[in-house]
Amino acid sequence: MITSKLNETRIVITGVGLTAPNGNNLAEFRKSLLTGKSGIQKITVRYMGEVLAGICQFDPLKYQKKKDLRRGTRAGSIAIYCAQEAINDAGLQLASLDRSRIGVYLGITEHGTVETENEIYEIKQYNYDVKFWSHHHNPRVVANNPAGEVTLNLGITGPHYTLGAACAGGNIGIIQGLQMLLLNEVDLALAGGVSECTGSFGIFAGFRSEGALASHPDPTKACRPFDKDRNGVVVSEGGCIFVLERLSDALKRQAKIYGEIVGYGINSDASDFIFPNKDRQVECMRLALRKAGISPDDIDIINTHGTGTIEGDPVECQAIREVFGEYPHASINNTKSFIGHAMGAAGALELAGNLPSFEDHLIHPTINLDNLDPQCHLGTFVINEPKEVDKVDYILNNSFGMLGINSVVIVKRFER
């Protein structure tokens, strides 16, 4: 079915730029995922005191001036770093591209919270006199800011916007990029997701108030999806942007091809603000499989969304059992156990971390899964050590978010 598609309607990944709490490019990130290296540490957050978080260590001055950092946002810096790295990784020269035909599509969980909290903290020092409120506030907090900063930095004049999709944002950025290429709106999409939420006390306080903020004496063991002793989310920042192109264009320029996006699904639970819905997750995975024209047994890796919450993890496992069976052909892993929950970046980062499996035939494990919760039972979790397989043809990536937004992306090993 797929092979009968025209190359103009096949969308491939030809570049990856990322920053994660345990790596600032795909090679570093992959190495950390294969060697069990966590990126979680203790940090101090205003009003919260010490919390556990994943912080990225990329050098923002690699692509920005000091003044750009002062004026822009952390989300913008993360996005610029990832976009520039993705373009370089794709072997593209910006100067030789028609920059009116590049689109920037970035998933976000939230934006503007960090800046708003900072400004309120600042005017508190002046007895809340709003004449001390920054004139930079509006351009920093508009929802398109991270994508817009990318266009300013790279001189891109094609469309840019963000997609607010809670923790499904990263996948949905990718899907939007794919759709815009299929509609011939752009020739190249910079698509993925970003999050700078560790700069906000509100997200930590919010999860704590929900009883869903992870704690553990050892930061590296705090995020433990599917484990009996899991106790919540570890909040992280991060970013991942892919260069997406039509296969016809990628072949023309003899680009390196990481994989082909062959299926996707987005749907809504329509049932709760916070709690997930197993039936809708099942439908979303089936939607993606149907679009790809494949059956559950074709999938070799299921990268779970699992965030380490008591309520959420079993629902996803139940949904996977329903679609794939309790002992699926696919190996199952989880990336958040290493890097925490990178929110808007999570879906894209977690997909990126698995793409090398097409070539190295290794499946990165889930760490901190010491005692599998029977409610989360699936027979093919890859636990603590990478697993070697004969080949990997299809990766399915789950990302779900609050308000009940589900997203699934399926990537296929590239074959002409």
Partner 1 sequence: MTKEQIRATILEIIAQIVPDEDLSNLKGNIPIREQIELDSMDFLDIIMELRKRYGIEVPEDDYVQLATLDSSVAYLEPRMKNL
Q: Concatenated DSSP letters for 180-214?
A: HHHTTS-SEEEEEEEE-GGG-HHHHHHHHHTT-B-
Q: DSSP state, 96? A: G
Q: What are the structure tokens assigned to 226, written together?
A: 């599917």
CB closer to partner 1, 134 vs 215: 134
Q: What are the structure tokens assigned to 117, written together?
A: 């909290």
Query: With binding defined as CB under 8 A, does residue 134 bind partner 1?
Result: yes
Query: With binding defined as CB under 8 A, does residue 131 bind partner 1?
Result: yes
**CB contact set of 370 (below 8 Å; sequence gap of 6+):** 224, 227, 229
- 82 is an active site residue: no
Residues 155-184 binding partner 1 (CB under 8 A) are none
Query: With binding defined as CB under 8 A, does residue 121 bind partner 1?
Result: no
Span interacting with partner 1, options 133-141, 191-199, 260-268, 296-304, rule CB under 8 A = 133-141
Query: With binding defined as CB under 8 A, does residue 127 bind partner 1?
Result: no
Rg of the chain taking only CA atoms, in angstroms: 20
Do strands 235-236 and 49-54 pair parallel, antiparallel, or not at all (unpaired)?
parallel
Q: In whole angstroms, give the CA distance from residue 161 to residue 300.
A: 33
Of the residues 135, 209, 270, 391, which one makes contact with partner 1 according to CB under 8 A:
135
- 167 is an active site residue: yes
How far is residue 217 from each of residues 113, 213, 221, measured CA to CA in Å?
Answer: 28, 14, 8
The dihedral built from the CA positions of residue 67, 71, 75 and 80, taken in this order, carries a sign that is negative
Q: How many CB atoms lie within 10 A of CB 334?
A: 30
Number of residues lying near partner 1 (CB under 8 A): 11
Smallest gap from Cβ 63 to partner 1, in A, equals: 14
Question: Do 399 and 305 touch, CB atoms closer than 8 A?
Answer: yes
Query: With binding defined as CB under 8 A, does residue 65 bind partner 1?
Result: yes
- 305 is an active site residue: yes
Q: In whole angstroms, give the CA distance from residue 335 to residue 16.
A: 17
Query: With binding defined as CB under 8 A, does residue 377 bind partner 1?
Result: no
Half-sphere exposure of residue 355: CA atoms within 13 angstroms, side-chain side: 28
Q: How many CB atoms lie within 10 A of CB 327?
A: 10
Query: With binding defined as CB under 8 A, does residue 416 bind partner 1?
Result: no
Smallest gap from Cβ 397 to partner 1, in A, equals: 40
CB closer to partner 1, 70 vs 391: 70
Query: With binding defined as CB under 8 A, does residue 136 bind partner 1?
Result: yes
Smallest gap from Cβ 95 to partner 1, in A, equals: 22
Smallest gap from Cβ 151 to partner 1, in A, equals: 18
Q: Which of 167, 223, 240, 376 is catalytic?
A: 167
Span interacting with partner 1, options 84-92, 124-132, 141-149, 396-404, rule CB under 8 A = 124-132
Query: With binding defined as CB under 8 A, does residue 126 bind partner 1?
Result: yes
Q: In whole angstroms, give the CA distance from residue 407 to residue 132.
A: 42
CB closer to partner 1, 139 vs 325: 139
Q: In whole angstroms, give the CA distance from residue 336 to residue 176.
A: 23
CB closer to partner 1, 129 vs 370: 129
Of the residues 121, 132, 275, 327, which one makes contact with partner 1 according to CB under 8 A:
132
Q: Which residues bind partner 1 (CB under 8 A)?
A: 65-67, 70-71, 126, 131-132, 134-136
Q: What residues act catalytically? A: 167, 305, 341
